[in-house]
Amino acid sequence: MANTKNNKEQTITLNDKKYNISDMNSDQKNYLAHVSDLNRKVETTKFNLQQLEMGLNHFVSMLSDSLNKEE
């Protein structure tokens, strides 16, 4: 979302419009910080969910293999 290029001002693009972060008021900068942090948390949660699903699938497979060996 934020762009930094060789000493140029940091900008974000929101709804196809560019905004200079330095032009934002303190509330807007705070909202941007929340958006950035929440986006990071969503991505981390997706990553964790993927790990959990893979772990669950692995243990289901191990249980199934173990039960099939007993038959």
pTM of the model: 0.72
Distance from CA of residue 37 to its chain's centroid? Answer: 9
Distance from CA of residue 21 to its chain's centroid? Answer: 21
Q: How far is CA 41 from CA 16, 48, 49, in A?
A: 24, 10, 12
Per-residue pLDDT of the chain in tens (71 residues, 90 and over written 9): 555 555 678 999 999 999 999 999 999 999 999 999 999 999 999 999 999 999 999 999 999 999 999 87
